[in-house]
Amino acid sequence: EDRQLLDVLLERKDLVALMPEADIRAAMDPANYTGGAKEIVDRMVAEVERELKVQV
């Protein structure tokens, strides 16, 4: 079937009962997806800080 996933999700009354439509739309917006970027950056910053402390 040639339909957008967002449209299918919004038709699911059981899902909409648990999660407001605006939240579903936000979750499906690719601009909001950062994946594990925050965790990766946090680990890299911690590693650099450790390295800098060792060198001081």
**Every domain of the chain and the residues it spans:** 5-55
For residue 56, what pLDDT band results from cuts at 50, 70 and 90?
Answer: low
35 touches 17 (CB < 8 A): no
What's the token pair of residue 31? 């601009």
pLDDT in tens, 8-48: 999 999 999 999 999 999 999 988 888 888 899 999 999 99
What pLDDT is stored for residue 53 in this prediction?
87
15 touches 9 (CB < 8 A): yes
What pLDDT is stored for residue 32 in this prediction?
84
Is 0.85 surpassed by the pTM of this model?
Answer: no
What's the token pair of residue 14? 């059981």
24 touches 15 (CB < 8 A): yes
